[in-house]
Structure 1
């Protein structure tokens, strides 16, 4: 990748798919996630790809002045690099109540024709393009991993991070080591979507912060380009959505946010029928990620210990369904060979994900295993 010379404003620049969904007008929700009562902003077929603009909430929130031009100008950003859709939503009269709604802007929902409860929706991130050459990392409202210790004397701390190139020409994020100093710490970028999900049943939109069986704000940094998330469909049409774009995030996301920054993503949406889903993954009650290297079951709870337990149970169930592995042997295998990572500890409902190496099961005759 090279440095961004022009921002990806709505409708401008590279648009990979024939379906394009900008983060403008009625295409977004701010602070809430879709429910069954919401109308789709786009209808597609299983297998279709959609190019979607996503907006970071950083720079548009009330405690940052709700004026992204002024906020980013104070950090040395030329007005040319402030996104028009960010300016528009910040200036709008969108009915968001900061006391009861979340901060995230989500784009959607998208109806996938034929989707019904019992199916899985597979969402594959095909491409993730940075829309701007900067991001923000925030710690606010005593909501990080160290409440009461950080922020230090302030209600909100938002740290600006520029995108630069390393000696090999790769894009990196940058930070100073002292306030006001030059940006000399460099870390690799790995763009992904913190929010990928489906609508919940009923007529109440969920808060955008806590993740759940619907997906939502799961913040799993393995979900970079080429990787997929499977989510149990809860309503006809699935009503999928994306948001909370990141340029980079460490497991845990301990300060509250990671390097939040707007992306233009292309996502492929595919249905997995209930019979196929049961055969491949067993009975999923929550999201499951997949990369070329790992199967990634998840566990969530307000209690981190319980989140780990849910994730272990999900992993045992997955190994039983996919490989007919006896539960006590699956438990032993997970202890010997699988890493359990903290996805995030800052979204009220904490997340844990396991990384099960698919190469460990290479060569197994799954049909014979299922017939035994």
Structure 2
């Protein structure tokens, strides 16, 4: 347990979807430090002994649970909730951190090309957070973060947790890791903050739709900035954000098209082809692997009519 924490939000205190009528799991004063026990994005439907059949059987009404909500005393519409991300601790099973990556039919950037379910299971050392082994071929550097972190919306009713929102939510920003400060717009009294969907590692883009989905305990400090009037979330990092990947350089493929989405798809598909050709892996394995550690970047967006999107795959995975 977190000795420095003022509150603990237990794993049973979670919800699916944003709804400003939900009763708070806790009411806290600004400046409180809170331990959140977060489920993986499947809400426990997948585990260390799961099979591909379990991917097919997923109940999508129970995806991306978030722990909370937290009512922050004094928070009003127009304020910003300032979140200091203190730490992540994997919820170990049998002494090991664990996670999963899946190709879920109908989901992901290349869903039309990868129509069958697939599953990769991961184990890693929760004390050292050393890179997680990818079969016998490679290892993926770990960088834990919360994929879903946000406040309730002003609009009444239940809103899906899948798309990101102006108040945060399922943003899947790989750099929202320990040491980062995040500001979220407040649209309802008390903010009604929740967090979940923790990952052990992810590439920018999360291109297959999943990363290393891994349940974790998250410690956050919540403060208020009055009358900030943010339109969308912003955050500040304490230092470099790709140091865990940079050491051996990158292999890079590009997509060039008049549409950014098509360029992104082409860049990822070319990297899948490259890994299949050079590493002898199956296409779906390559697709899942790049989702955990490869980065999509907009390289050029001014030279009309075509834009350039690049996909960076870190060579450290195989070296």
Judge same fold: TM > 0.5, yes or no.
yes
Check if 1:123 corresponds to 2:94. no
Which residue matches 2:130? 171
Which residue matches 2:233? 287
CA distance in 1, matches of 2:131, 2:3: 23
CA distance in 2, matches of 1:199, 1:150: 34
CA distance in 1, matches of 2:22, 2:181: 25
Are residues 304 and 272 of structure 1, via their aligned partners in 2, closer, same or farther at CA, if it must alter by over 3 Å? farther
Which residue matches 1:220? 173
Q: How many residue pairs end up in the alignment? A: 240
> Please, which of 123, 135, 144 is the counterpart of residue 191 of structure 1?
144
Which residue matches 1:258? 211
Q: What are the ranges of 5 or more consecutive residues in structure 2 without an aligned counterpart?
A: 52-57, 242-258, 262-295, 299-319
Contact 2:88–2:217 (Cα < 8 Å) also in 1: yes
CA distance in 1, matches of 2:84, 2:260: 28
Which residue matches 1:29? 15
Task: Please list the CA deviations of residues 314-335 of structure 1 after superposition, one character each: whole Å capped at 9, or x if unmatched.
Answer: xxxxxxxxxxxxxxxxxxxxxx
Map 1:1-372 → 2, pairs under 5 A? 13-14=1-2, 16-24=4-12, 27-30=13-16, 32-33=17-18, 35-58=19-42, 60-61=44-45, 68=47, 72-73=48-49, 98=59, 101=61, 103-132=63-92, 133-151=97-115, 154=116, 156-164=117-125, 170-176=129-135, 183-274=136-227, 277=228, 283-293=229-239, 341=297
Secondary structure at the residue paired with 1:190?
coil
Q: What are the ranges of 5 or more consecutive residues in structure 1 without an aligned counterpart?
A: 1-12, 76-96, 177-182, 278-282, 296-302, 306-339, 343-372
Contact 2:9–2:34 (Cα < 8 Å) also in 1: yes
CA distance in 2, matches of 1:272, 1:229: 12
Task: Please list the CA deviations of residues 114-134 of structure 1 after superposition, one character each: whole Å capped at 9, or x if unmatched.
Answer: 000010001111011111211
Comparing 13-22 and 237-246, the one that deviates more: 13-22
Structure 1 runs, 4 residues or longer, greater than 2 Å off:
13-16, 57-61, 72-75, 292-295
Are residues 269 and 125 of structure 1, via their aligned partners in 2, closer, same or farther at CA, if it must alter by over 3 Å? same
Secondary structure at the residue paired with 1:171?
coil
Contact 1:37–1:202 (Cα < 8 Å) also in 2: no
Are residues 102 and 213 of structure 1, via their aligned partners in 2, closer, same or farther at CA, if it must alter by over 3 Å? farther
| Structure number with higher strand proportion | 2
CA distance in 2, matches of 1:106, 1:165: 22
Based on CA coordinates, which of the two structures has the bigger radius of gyration? Answer: 1
TM-score by length of 2: 0.68
